[in-house]
A and B are shown apart, each in its own frame.
Chain A
Amino acid sequence: MAEFIQYLINGLSQGGTYALIALGYTMVFGILQLINFAHGEVYMLGAFSGLYTSKLAGPQLSAFFNKIFNGAADQMSTPAAICTAIVIIMVAMVVCALVGFCVERLAYRPLRSSPRINLLITAVGVSLFFQYSGQIIFGSDPKAYPDLFENLESWTFGSDENLLVINPLQVFVFVTAIVLMLILRHIIFHTRLGRAMRAVSFNHDLASLMGIPTDRVIAATFMLGSALAGAAGVMVGMTYPKVEPLMGSLPGLKAFCAAVLGGIGNVTGAVLGSFILGLAEALLSGYGTPTYKDALAFAILIFILLIKPSGLLGVHRTEKV
């Protein structure tokens, strides 16, 4: 039983990071009908900007927060570590939002009126460009993440046989992911920007006629999605303390599969699909064959496209001529 709960916790934590990436995919797809292949690379850049922020300013930041919470700079405490992590995540989010803005402005916007296939090829090109220039700039060897929560002990429950170990970092990742999703939900459903985004995704031309600055709304969508991917990058970097320039492609594709599973273009669906995928992967590697873990997402994708191409929560739209 404890084993099962352990897998559930791992799955939820993994699903949280998938969800943050999948949200960007689903928002961009909803608004442009574009699979933004470069999204996984934005996540990678987020991890790296988090890495360099914590290398450059990490000790100063934690000293600063320790002073606030404990009065002494050299005493580590949990709230200080959490605050440091949050600041690092925010820096990465800002960097990624800028990256998302630049990608949209330089690569996708000039192609807005061209066939979708050209946009897709460009997206693939942008993705490859980030992967390989990342290898040149950061080096292709995996880099270790500084451990912010080093003196934090894991919470253990139960006795020897039913031992349950919860890493506080996993809880932190899960909670942060949920908070970010709630903020996104608020933006989409309760702000002017969100209403504009929904309008543009509903009908681009009509929204433009109603005076909505569609270009600006699309740029904002890219920035929001990229910021979430950046947060996911930092959190994954913290949990699996290794980052490398090619780390983005597989989680990116898996998150896309999760978005399709939930119904692409649907924000709630993306979150649901991601948690299902995270749990399924955790259970497969726990009880089944971990080596097949990487194929699971694609198997789910093909299966869902066969059974219900609109996804779990998606609305089936008939194509009109």
Chain B
Amino acid sequence: MGSAYKSEEKSTAAGIMSLRWWMLAIGFAWLLNYFLPDVMSPYYFQILILAGINVILSVSLNLVNGFTGQFSMGHAGFMSVGGYLSAYLTTQFVESRPELFTDSVTGELLATGIVIYLAALIMGGLAATIVGYIVGLPSLRLRGDYLAIVTLGFGEIIRVVFLNTDAVGGARGLSGIKQFTSFGWVYTLVIVTIFCVWRVVHSAHGRILLSIREDEVAATAMGVNTTQGKVRAFAMGAFFAGVAGGLFAHYLTTLSPGTFDFNRSFEVIIMVVLGGMGSISGSVVAAILLTVLKEALRPLQQITGVDLRMVIYSLVLIIMMLARPKGIFGTNEIGDLIRRKKGAKGGAT
């Protein structure tokens, strides 16, 4: 798999990696944050936010499933750890020290509130990382399919634990979470996630991950500590899943254990597989596509009275595996495809 090395060279040459582009993108997200809610209907706005959260989930899962080649099925579990913890923290704070969050005179959101919110998101992410580490360390010694079932089982255990924990509402769920998540924060974190995953994948550590995916035995023979590489990728994926869970919790304002069942994990897996395991832009495109498709299929559901969405998803998954197992983009990035097309044209003239 020399493509990763080549693509890094190409993209460095194109200057895409320079930090200011990313900063510019974040600035753009905040710009949109200020005027989009006025222009867009709340419904479309909600789709945009959910698409952003799904992008974080799928890009972070791609690090584990796509780049490292370890099939994790517990992403919803990590998401729920992050979501529950951060939501619990902010609701506790809002209850005990409301003056930190809203100005008592104007009712506006205070900067301290935002800081606490971000800290809670990061705490949620770190908790998910710790849980990911605990789960990953033993199970990543195992072969691929075992990992799949262990992570799936772990996701179920987490759900049952939340279902039985009264501090977070048990089966009723956690409600009354303050809605901190805004378009700006979601897309800032989308960009941060893509940036981090991109940098990791194109670093020496990323090459370790790719070597594990391509041939674990050969990688071990070359002196790569495969278990450590896998656990790191797993923990990092869990971190961003936890952050996404926090964003999700502070957007929906209610959480229930049923939100994070294994269908949620499957949804993210479908995004990663559809976009191409090992393609960051593929995950982004697939996450947006599937979030929009989910809403676009809603009228069909109203006409026929049945939920065809998951049937279509699952058929797409099967047909994809039969016809184009590498996904839409394979291991290429969207930039590679455009550049190749240009190159082909240049060659023809």
Chain A residues within CB distance 8 Å of chain B: 33-35, 107, 110-111, 114-118, 120-122, 124-129, 131-133, 135-136, 249, 253, 256-257, 260, 289, 291-292, 294-295, 297-299, 301-302, 305-306, 309, 319, 321
Contact = CB atoms under 8 A, between A and B. Distances in A.
Interface in B54-79: 69, 71, 73
Contacts of B308: 136
A135 B314 CA distance: 14
B139 A122 contact: no
Q: Using C-beta atoms within 8 Å of the partner chain, give the interface range for chain B.
A: 35 or more
20 contacts: A34-B145, A111-B322, A114-B325, A117-B69, A117-B71, A120-B148, A121-B71, A121-B317, A124-B317, A127-B314, A132-B307, A135-B306, A249-B262, A253-B152, A260-B146, A301-B150, A302-B150, A305-B150, A309-B142, A321-B217
Interface string B179-197: 0000000000000000000
Interface in B93-124: none
Given A118-B321, A294-B156, A35 B149 contact: yes
A321 B148 CA distance: 23
B313 interface: yes
A21 B155 CA distance: 22
A291 B157 CA distance: 11
Contacts of B15: none
A-B pairs, top 10 by smallest CB distance, nearest first, are A298-B153, A125-B317, A128-B314, A129-B314, A132-B310, A295-B160, A125-B318, A136-B306, A122-B321, A295-B157
Nearest to A302: B150
Contact of A117 (B144, B150, B306, B313): B144
A120 B150 contact: no
A124 B306 contact: no
**Which of A124, A299, A306 neighbours the largest number of chain B CB atoms within 10 Å of its CB?**
A124
A118 B325 contact: yes
B266 interface: yes
Contacts of B156: 253, 294-295, 298
Given A295-B161, A297-B153, A302 B315 contact: no
B269 interface: yes
Contacts, number: 117
A259 B311 CA distance: 29
B138 interface: yes
A117 B142 CA distance: 14
A120 to B, nearest CB: 6
Nearest to B70: A117
A120 B318 contact: no
Given A121-B269, A121-B321, A289 B164 contact: yes
B311 A133 contact: yes
Q: Chain A interface secondary structure, helix, strand, loop or mixed?
A: helix
Given A125-B314, A126-B314, A129-B318, A301 B149 contact: yes
Nearest to A131: B310
Given A121-B321, A321-B217, A292 B153 contact: no
Nearest to A34: B145
B321 A128 contact: no
A110 B142 contact: no
B302 to A, nearest CB: 14
Contact of A309 (B146, B160, B307): B146
A125 B321 contact: yes
Contacts of B146: 260, 305, 309
Nearest to B148: A120
A292 B311 contact: no
B163 interface: yes
Nearest to B143: A319
A305 B139 contact: yes
**Which of B142, B266, B314 neighbours the largest number of chain A CB atoms within 10 Å of its CB?**
B314
Nearest to B315: A129
A126 B145 contact: no
**Which of A110, A299, A302, A309 neighbours the largest number of chain B CB atoms within 10 Å of its CB?**
A302
